[in-house]
Structure 1
Amino acid sequence: MRQAVPKIRLRQWIWRAFLSSALIPLILVETVLIASYLLTNQVTRETQVDYLKRSAIDSLSASVEQNALIVESKLESLGGVAGLLGTVTSQALLTPASGPGENLGVTPEGARYSTTDLGGAASFYSAATPLARQDLGKVQRLARLDTVFKQIKQTDPMIASLYFNSWDSYNRIYPWFPTNEQYSADLRIPEYNFYYLADATHNPQRKTRWTEVYLDPAGHGWMMSAVSPVYRGDFLEGVVGLDVTVDGILNEIARLRVPWSGYLLLVSEDMTIMAMPPQAEHDFALRELKAPDANTIVHQEVLKPRIFNLGQRDDTVAIANALQTAASGFSETALQGRAHLFAWKTIKSTGWKLLAVADKQEVMAETDGLARHFRNIGYLMIVGLVLFYAVFFTVLWRRSRQLSERLRQPISGIVQMLREIGQGRWQPVRVESGILELDEMAGSVLTMGSQLATSEQQRDVAQERLALVMENATTGLWEYHLDDDSLTLRGGLVARLDLPETPMSREAFLTRLDANDAQAMSQAFDSLRMGQTSRIDIEFRLSRPDGSFLWLLGRGRMIKGILDGGTVALGTLVDIDALKLTEMDLRERTLQTQAASQAKSRFISSMSHELRTPLNAIQGFAQLMRLGAHGEAEGQHLDEILSASAHLAQLVDDLLDWSSLQAEPQKLTLKPVPVHAMLKECADMVRSQALSAGLVLELELTAAPKEVYADARRLRQVLLNLLSNAIKYNRPGGRLLIGAEGAGEWARLFVEDGGLGIEPELQAALFEPFQRLGKENTAIQGTGIGLALCRELAGLMGGQMGLCSELGKGSRFWIELLPTHLIEPAGTGEKRRTAIFYAGSDEAILPFISTIAGERVVLKSGTLESCVNESRLEGAPGILLLDCDGEDPDRSAHLGRLRRSLNAEFMSVVLLGSAPKALAWVGFEFQAVLKKPLEVDALREVLDALLEKESSDVH
């Protein structure tokens, strides 16, 4: 049971805070100081010379005791602040995150850090915690501590920095500095004393603790910290701390007076000198450690070296033993050949020793004069303090009343605003306050009211929309109760199908379904009950009242957090009967279209063969008649017949080639083809035709590869077609050139003419079949199939066609093919692993494929277009996993080009998609279909089968 906290008024709380944090400690310190001074003066004045040493001892002891109280008060104050900061941090960690997240950069090693100084704290999430496991919500919640950090830092100049360190090596430190430059990327915070000294092992009481002096990894040099644990239950979430540098302690100690020009040392429980002023460096033959270069990165915990340990030094081992045996005391030891007096006092809250050191000669010389001087000062201090505190108490009392009243009014107003918002009045009258934080709080309350009003409106609209959906005759809702294996149906669709809206058993529901669909639905319910899946996505047929079936789509998932404690799956029912009918109609039309296309190809092929027979007779008899022609007129008529029949024969040949390519892609024999020999052969074949047209054919080879990977017969056909066009569409005396050159990683074979050129707007249609760009009615013979046929053949050889043309100057047509040195010869080297290419954007699938296939495959991923480009160099992959969920209008075109790549006849295609039934009509050949999200067993079965097929195909 939670213990009740006593309640006090604001005025009393402010007054008590003044008393506990300022007045009482000051009065106590001043009282002890005055008493010590008076006692020292009295003893010095009344003691004889032989007691002078004892007087000095008492005075030095009183001084160190007074200074110890001051230091202890300061440390307790800092410890209290650390404890309060720990409480605030615990509350911040329990408060839900709000507002935008902090913009953190990421180092190459995987550490997150604050990139910009926004006037607050700096964040550093060590790479010791992987990026995926770093709690960014915690970073967002802790961002609200920046204001507290800043206020605490401003109140005490001793505080060098404030921080929160978490168990998973997250650090939030104020003020800001570039943590990525100072911290080690793999910084492990729990290994440093400013963390582990506050854990349950070293601090079971969960109090504020002070660390030993250590080298700060944040670059502030040598320091000590007041650390306080932050727990969530019994789990140590982290540690908050206040950093106090050694220089800060020295500055604080330097303000404390020690008689006889002495100085103070701060010594830890293990006798290590924590802070020493410059005066002590000569006496102890030491130099206080300085901060290293700000760019130095500390990779592990660094404490002060053993030379600073009094127990490890020959000249101070005696004083170390004395310090360990007594909480306070006095001793005399020689340093550097001179006698020195030591007085010490234990600081209870930390166990440290405040050690006062004075040169004995200085003590004895000033004792008499100081006794009289301190007595007069003591009397004056008593009178002054009495008057001062009388006035001070009066002023503080009035000030506390004013502060309490100034705070009470706006706080009461904010409470009233919250009360009105709770009653549904979303915009109460705003309370005005001169205190910025309270004014911002009032503004935040108004903002909260506006947000609640908006949320209320959105909830009303959502309820109205849900009601409309429920009333729709084509939709409905279902609830499946796993506890009693029953269903509840609601909505307009339920009423339309004459289904009860009361809970019904599974068996009663399944009787209304088609037999095959009932079995699938039952299996889906069993998967939910056994925890094998948390979602349902199924199409099924449900009987209407007239006995006919209606196609429905049922989707839903498990719902957590049901108030009555039951386990329920919720989902929707959608009428997809019209969609199914459309799908069936589309399937039938697709089959009809495919049949018509095949009939067209068979008709063209058949007609082309039928035309060749009479054409052969016409050409043969015309040639015989031309041999026996009498007269020039008769010869001209026969030449016209021969020319027309040759043109018709060429048209038939082109039609045969085109129809064969459209009916079934040709399987070409790709092998190395010498470039120079092929170009020379083609040039020799058309040289006489070029001379007849008044043209001179030139051959040019500009740094061209020696060989290309192609089918020699088809490559010759492409080049001869381009040369024929260049001759037909050229001008007498124009340029006619055939050659080859390098084009990046491609080998480009080209034919250039000096004709009229082609308009830019017509170039896109040039490679379309039966397209002659307006030259149909000219005397130039042609069919318009040649260039389209050339582009198809180029694609089958793994290449591409293109042109560049300029009006009035001519055109250059080219075909690009792969050089043989870029293609690994088959059967060479070690046995290659099967290549699997995943074409899609769901990267979560890749680990499944890699785990199942293992070292049997080489796994690659990217877009389908990138797979096509890569296949030009390396050939088609052995297995293509094609993700069909995304929209890609060019998918069929890309796959067609991939099918024409090297080794594509051995490629297996596996389709992936959320709706596997719809993938059966994608319009191209595939070997398997898998539903997303992927099931491991199904994926393993498909890959094992395909990989076994791959290995059997390799000889």
Structure 2
Amino acid sequence: MPIPKPIGLRQWIWRAFVRSALIPLVLVETALIAIYLLTNGAIRDAQIDHLRQTALNDLQASASLESRLISEQLAQVGSLTQLYRNLTAKALQDGAPAQLPELALSADGVRYSPDDNGGAAVFYSGATPAEQHDLQKIARLRQLEPLMKEIETRNPLVASLYFNSWDSFNHIYPWFFTVDQYPADMNIPQYNFYYLADAEHNPSRGVVWTDVYLDPAGHGWMMSAIAPVYRDAFLEGVVGIDITVSVILEQIDQLQVPWGGYAMLVSDDLSIMALPEPGEVDFGLAELTDHSYLEAIRSEMFKPEDFQLDRRPETAELAAAISGAPSGVQRVMLGGRPQLVAWTTVAQTGWHLLAVVDEAAVFRQTNALASRYQQIGYLLIAGLVLFYIGFFAVMWLRARQLSQALLAPIAGISRMLGDIGLGRWRPEPVHAPIRELDEMSRHTQDIGSRLAHSESERWEAQRRLELVLESATESLWEYDMPNHTLRLRGSMLGRFGLPSGVLSDREFRQRIHPDDLPQALAQIERIQQGLQQRYEAEYRFADALGEYHWLLSRGRVLEQDPQTGMVRVLAGTHVDIDALKRVEAELRAATLQAEAASEAKGRLLSGISHELRTPLNAILGFAQLMRMDCDDSSQSEAAEYLDEILLASRHLNQLLGEILEWSSLQKERPQLELQPVDVCSLMRECAELVALEVQQRGLQLDLNLPDDGLLVLAEPRRLRQVLLNLLSNAMKYNVPNGHISLRAESSPEHVRILVEDTGLGIDPAQQAQVFEPFQRLGRENSMIQGTGIGLSLCLEFARLMNGQLGLHSEPGVGSRFWIELPRVAPAPLQ
């Protein structure tokens, strides 16, 4: 069966993967996914932040609205208090006699109204003697009872209206049996609902509000709007309108707090004034409505410290924020849950209305939206992952088909190498359809033959070396360092004529050559100092006839004092290394032979290059002759084949030349003969050499020559090669109708020659790989021919000429390559 003609490995791989664009597609899709994830995340975060801020603004707006409603209601109560105060002052100043209501006098001297006749209750404390009771005051104030009844009936906030006089007289509506509720000796001016309106506490004589207190009249926790009643400069008494906390709670419960929240009222001194049932659970408080009134009757009783926001650890930060701003929103942990608290200040009283909402309820919709965005993103990513799984599966199948095509010859070569590794030096060769693999098979068989010869020589050398080592071991020794004695065992005693197996170290050292003794003693001293644990020394030792023989003495610490660390016993061996010294000389000679073999390899590579170029030049020459005889109009297919042969031959010739040149540079860096070079002449020469190809490619070359006499220190041929390579790349990687610029820049120390193009440009991430050998940055599968070695050679030549090579490139704009060389001053004119 005839063996098919092998083809080139590069051409074969090109045919297999020309239809694939795996790496560019993965890079593009990865970039698109990254852009999508980044933009989607940014948009999602912006929308969520906007929704969160909108929710907080709605909460703040709700608190502000409800605060205005309460402020308006309290303002109405304040206006009623002023009205009631003015009519009370007018009634007290009325000199006309009035009808006295039916009153009773208790045994304690208290004058009171015993029955409910639909009017107000009267209580004249026993603190003022009964004979001093002002009965006309009682009679005059009776005419205000219709007004008091109307105010209490019309305003749902009002719990009661009252007038307290300086002499402990109390006129209050609605009626209740005051004797059972008030103490007989009640001193009214001592209570806050009286003294807060006096001249000391209220010099402006306006309406003031009390703190929340426990009402002595039995209405529970309440607050009062009070105003003083003066007769000229004398404080006749105080009028007040009571609002119970329960009423405030009912009003607050009716407030429309969003997200299922609740409202609460805090005084200007940060004391909780009204707290609904959900708030009692969150704050761990109760309104104390079932409190005993015995203490409130005898003295004032205010809410405990637990109702002070600034006294509670969990609300201390909230209290500071409320004190620092009239309105705002604060996050607080209440009831073991994060809560959002929005507050505004009631302008009428300085109180603070707080709206408390569960944070989870506020952001539930926002968080749900964020979760939905995230799920959509995950679904899109999952879809892309599934797509690429299928895509990579197809690519894997194609790669498998390719690997199957390569498997048989590669496996055969691997089998050949395995046989060589097992000692079968001449395995059966493998015939491959790929020329390079076929040559590799033959080369492997040749390597096996050479290894067979080398192995026989190595085995013989190893056998001889083993014999030498067996005969070179002279003795085992133990050195007792505290007693300075050396014990020897082996053939050394008889061979060197030693008197016995135990010697003093002085007797043994007398046999060591004087030149080698310091080294041996230095090793012993380092071991004694604890600097090392092993002993090794080479020295010449005298036999019984006084002739010296080389010995290698090796040993290590055998015993050591665990407390002091002092070495007790040192043990080792003596080896006769006379033969090894001879082997060293032989190895030196072998090294020289290896260097000669390396030079032979270089000559072999050079010969191979000439042998390959000879048939290649013949192919190129015959193809050119055939192409010249070919008529394009009649034999277009043959002309195309010949053009392909010519193109491939020139490319292979260039590839072979650059590879050999790169190999020679790596083997031995040549010494270039640097001399002054005229930059202007060299640039003009290079431009003329590429002018025809520039015209054929439809490009435009802009030549900007420097001033005459600009010199650089370089090797002319290599500098011309660098510039032509840069111009060739500028032509190959340019765009249709593109431009190429060749110019020079100079400084006092250097000259930089630049080649610029308007071509494809190079991605910044790939620019570091441009000067690596055989690196074409993904252009291997393009129609642009190249080897990936040219720029590497240019960089090496630039360095050999003490210069630098660099680039600046922008994708889609173009590239600028430059070589910078030392400048040479022109010789002075004679």
Same fold (TM over 0.5): no
User: What is the TM-score normalised by the length of structure 1?
Assistant: 0.33
Which has more radius of gyration?
2
The two structures have a TM-score, normalised by structure 2, of 0.38
Q: Which has the higher contact order (CA 8 A, sep 6+)?
A: 2
